[in-house]
Chains A and B, each alone.
Chain A
Amino acid sequence: MDEHEDLEHWLREGLRPRQTPAGFSARLMARLPETSPVPSSQTKRWVPAIRWATAVLLLGVAGGSYWQHQQQERVAGERARAQLFLALRMSAATLNDVQHKVLRSTTGDSE
């Protein structure tokens, strides 16, 4: 392997995608806008290749305004779920910090 290929090899090895910080998608979902506009019935909309996309489309064809309401509720629900985890995590982190401080002070490691 020559020098040029060597570097390219190490670049590929060293630049494999990194993991996002834990909780990234939950924090993102909490930032999504509360409502989404009605999808246009005139547009042939791309559907990502995901497992339940077909089922959801069929529901959309059948549902009309019921579908819109359900979707809006789902968006709001996911957002609420993300906010819940944020609140619980922040509470847990604060509780743990306080617990450590108390433990430190009771074992004599204090000012």
Chain B
Amino acid sequence: MPGMTGEFREIVEAHQSLVFSIAYRVLGDRGTAEEVAQDVFLELYRAFDDIASDEHLVAWLRRVAVHRATDALRRRPRILHGAAEFEDWMAKAPNEEGSVPLASEIERLLLELPPAQRAVVLLRYQEDLPPGEIAETLRMPLATVKSHLQRALKAMRARAEDTLREYTRHG
């Protein structure tokens, strides 16, 4: 456990976006995402002496964030309707032009995926990890990661065709 709270605070501030973003995009619920993100950092605080390097820290945070968020998803039945909740939320908060921000649209598409595919897509496109590192982070066979990625992209492409054309037209 770190004896230097200032040091820990700096680590939190450097990595809180990463952890929160993973949690939020797995769960689709801001409040629960914050709780999960806080729990991840509390777990880090307890396990701090096991961290061997900066690279290890980031990999650790990614892995624990995904696991905690998917655990929370399994435990909270209402989150199964995450896509619908997300759509409701978005319906209340259009931007000035009346259309949905790209990030929200992508997140909506993400929430329609099964949790395992969601996690793989996040690590690939939010964290920019190659499939081999995703497999290591999630402790999943590489073939499984590639399969999840392929299915996720296929599903998202089918749903996103019209939407993404809009963004392409408007740049």
User: Counting CB contacts under 8 A, is A61 at the interface?
Assistant: no
Majority secondary structure of chain B interface residues (helix, strand, loop or mixed): helix
Stretch at the interface among B68-76, B102-110, B131-139: B102-110
| A10, B102: Cβ atoms closer than 8 Å | yes
Q: Pick the most buried of A8, A48, A56: most chain B CB atoms within 10 A of its CB.
A: A48
| A50, B3: Cβ atoms closer than 8 Å | no
Stretch at the interface among B45-53, B86-94, B140-148: B45-53
| A7, B153: Cβ atoms closer than 8 Å | yes
B160 surroundings in chain A (CB, below 8 A): 7, 10
Interface residues of B (CB under 8 A from A): 1-13, 16-18, 20-21, 24-25, 30, 34, 37-38, 41-42, 45, 49, 51-54, 56-57, 102-103, 105-107, 110, 121-122, 124-126, 128, 153, 156-157, 160, 164, 167-168
Q: List 9 A-B contacts (CB under 8 A).
A: A4-B157, A10-B102, A15-B25, A28-B42, A36-B1, A48-B10, A48-B11, A74-B4, A78-B5
